[in-house]
Amino acid sequence: MKRKEFLQSILGASAFMAMPNISFAETPEALPELIKSTEKQTFGSLIGHKATPIKKVRVGIIGLGNRGKVLLKMFKWLVENDHAEIVAFSDLLDQNIKVAEEILAQWQKKKAAIYSKNEEDWKNLAQRDDIDLLLICTPWRLHTPMSVFGMNHGKHVACEVPIAYTLEDNWNIVQTAERTKMHCIMIENCCYNQEEMFVLNMAENGVFGDLTHAEGAYLHDLRAHMLSKDYYQDQWRIKHHITRDGNFYTTHGLGPISFYMNIGRGDTYMHLTSMSSRELNLSETAKRENAPYHNFKCGDMNTTLIKTAKGKSIMLQFDVHTGRPYSRINKLVGTKAVHDGYPSRLYVDDGKLLYWGHNWVDDATYKEYEEKYTHPIIKKLRNISKSYKEGHGGMDFVMIYRLIRCLNLGLPLDINVYDSAIWSAVTPISELSVASNSLSIPFPDFTNGAWKEARQLEVMQNTAI
Ligand SMILES: NC(=O)c1ccc[n+]([C@@H]2O[C@H](COP(=O)([O-])OP(=O)(O)OC[C@H]3O[C@@H](n4cnc5c(N)ncnc54)[C@H](O)[C@@H]3O)[C@@H](O)[C@H]2O)c1
């Protein structure tokens, strides 16, 4: 039964309704069937979905901690130019509300309505009929319930990463969006970083030839953040590391890679295998610092390998326990070129067969490529606002700008509900694989087969807006 509880925590209880007679002694062999049983009825595809244009997008923000406050600042230019208005805030902590009010007062005359009475007060915000978009920046466990409630009350939803961390919740997000016809997207900012957009534009213009492989990661020493009593509200983040093991933060690496590989637009993930190292760094640091939590299930380094339907491979890593410089790796390999991030380097194959002497392009050539292939959205935003450099070096502004302008104009959003579920579902599937001696686990198809149709990425369309 213990194994059943574990599987339920990852798949969701409904998986077992479809397969009530599963033998728990044999679950590794039965896992592919069990995953299949999580697949749900769909309600009509939202691919290319356009909602009615919204002249001025009225926004309610739930969660104004570290992330919510940064994203709030990204609205300055949009509010000043009448594309958006901040209508309401919800948070549990008075000091966060106070800082958010101070930020808003710098560039919006009208104050935001406040919902901070209790843990359920955000529902009153989500039920207001003068809000078009909910921006959700709360701890992970609240992402799905808040997104689903918002859509059920007629709101478009933009939710922080990951949008869900059980398969059942990912299906719930997809089904609710399809049923309500509301946009529901995960706001994966790294897709909008200058380097990732440059690599994407090169890939789209054939510089890499045919793609074969990519590597991405979230390698970020979060020990100080997670062990601090004050950084995350109620230390929500470290609690995941006590009870779970796998890749909890897939999307900073995988979002851009999925764009490079046209995932959901002609290709998709078929199966993955995942392995975690032993855990040492976080527990040793916790003991040294006399922190209240000492025992962690999550290994220091998780490595996940994903195979796509068209035969491409992806290596994805997750390590927030080890002291080291930050990296998302951002490697892309094709038949004609290779890119590596941290620092950004490019190799372009000139077709000559060499025994040795393969070099990255020199600085001057790299600059030429950069000038030629900087993404048109970045080129445009450079000219309209200094804000294009704000929020994680610019990517947060570019992301919020694209979200609001696409809503203003009734255009499909760059990241859709299927992207959000596919990228997030790597988390529970990695956990299943880690718990089953790195067994290869198949992916459910959130698109109901629609991924087979090759389509142009939305972020390559309407780039002049
Ligand atoms: N994309 C990025 O670059 C990036 C960076 C940082 C964090 N994040 C994501 O943002 C989210 C928030 O992270 P954070 O670092 O801001 O955490 P945080 O703890 O600083 O903020 C969470 C906030 O949610 C509020 N909250 C909790 N329960 C609530 C409820 N019931 N009603 C209203 N408010 C509630 C808390 O009071 C807190 O202020 C996470 O999903 C995280 O993964 C993304």
Per-residue pLDDT of the chain (465 residues; tens, 9 = 90+): 578 888 888 888 877 777 766 666 567 778 888 888 888 888 899 999 999 999 999 999 999 999 999 999 999 999 999 999 999 999 999 999 999 999 999 999 999 999 999 999 999 999 999 999 999 999 999 999 999 999 999 999 999 999 999 999 999 999 999 999 999 999 999 999 999 999 999 999 999 999 999 999 999 999 999 999 999 999 999 999 999 999 999 999 999 999 999 999 999 999 999 999 999 999 999 999 999 999 999 999 999 999 999 999 999 999 999 999 999 999 999 999 999 999 999 999 988 899 988 999 999 999 999 999 999 999 999 888 777 677 787 999 999 999 999 999 999 999 999 999 999 999 999 999 999 999 999 999 999 999 999 999 999 999 999
β pairing state of 441-442 and 269-276: antiparallel
Nearest CA to ligand 1 atom 13: 67
In ligand 1, which atom is closest to the CA atom of 231? 20
pLDDT at 384: 81
Report the b/e string of 374-399 with b at 16+ CB within 10 A: bbebbeebeeebebbebbeebbbbbb
Backbone angles phi, psi at 112, to 5 degrees: -85, 145
- Take residue 52 and report the two structure tokens written for it: 């009615």
- Maximum Cα–Cα distance for the chain, whole Å? 69
In ligand 1, which atom is closest to the CA atom of 68? 16
226 CA distance to ligand 1 middle (Å): 13
Tell me how crowded residue 288 is: count the other CB atoms within 10 A of its CB.
9
65 CA distance to ligand 1 middle (Å): 5
397 CA distance to ligand 1 middle (Å): 18
pLDDT at 189: 98
Q: Which DSSP letter does residue 360 get? A: P
In three-state secondary structure terms, 198 is helix
In ligand 1, which atom is closest to the CA atom of 91? 34
Class of domain 57-188: alpha beta
Residues with CB under 6 A from ligand 1: 62-68, 90-93, 96, 119, 122, 137-140, 142, 160-161, 189, 232-233, 236, 392
In ligand 1, which atom is closest to the CA atom of 233? 19
In ligand 1, which atom is closest to the CA atom of 143? 41
Nearest CA to ligand 1 atom 11: 137
CA angle at 310 for the pair 308 and 314, rounded to the nearest 5°: 35
Nearest CA to ligand 1 atom 25: 63
pLDDT at 22: 67
Per CATH, the number for 191-460 is 3.30.360.10
Contacts of 87 (CB under 8 A, 6+ apart): 58, 59, 60, 112, 113, 128, 130, 131
pLDDT at 140: 98
Nearest CA to ligand 1 atom 4: 67
Q: Which of 110, 35, 160, 55 is nearest to 404 (CA)?
A: 55
HSE, CB side, 13 Å, CA atoms: give it for residue 85.
Answer: 14
Q: What CA–CA distance (Å, rounded) separates 373 from 19?
A: 50
Let me know: does 147 contact 157? Beta carbons within 8 Å: yes
- Take residue 91 and report the two structure tokens written for it: 């948070």
Domain boundaries, the chain: 2-37, 57-188, 191-460
Amino acid at 173: I
Q: What is the CA radius of gyration of the chain?
A: 22
Nearest CA to ligand 1 atom 27: 138
In ligand 1, which atom is closest to the CA atom of 225? 15
67 CA distance to ligand 1 middle (Å): 6
Residue whose CB lies within 8 A of the most ligand 1 atoms, among 116, 220, 233, 400, for a mutation test:
233
Q: How many residues does the chain have?
A: 465
Backbone angles phi, psi at 72, to 5 degrees: -55, -45
Q: What CA–CA distance (Å, rounded) separates 414 from 410?
A: 12
Which secondary-structure segment (H or E) carries 426? Answer: helix 417-434
Let me know: does 61 contact 88? Beta carbons within 8 Å: yes
Contacts of 192 (CB under 8 A, 6+ apart): 377, 394, 395, 396, 398, 399, 402
pTM of the prediction?
A: 0.96
Nearest CA to ligand 1 atom 6: 67
Residue whose CB lies within 8 A of the most ligand 1 atoms, among 64, 67, 69, 74, for a mutation test:
67
Q: What CA–CA distance (Å, rounded) separates 161 from 146?
A: 13
350 CA distance to ligand 1 middle (Å): 47
Nearest CA to ligand 1 atom 5: 67
Nearest CA to ligand 1 atom 34: 91
Q: What CA–CA distance (Å, rounded) separates 418 from 45?
A: 10
In ligand 1, which atom is closest to the CA atom of 96? 39
In three-state secondary structure terms, 190 is helix
Q: What CA–CA distance (Å, rounded) separates 399 from 135?
A: 13
Q: In what order do the strands lie in the sheet with 269-276?
A: 345-348, 337-340, 331-334, 211-219, 313-319, 302-308, 269-276, 441-442
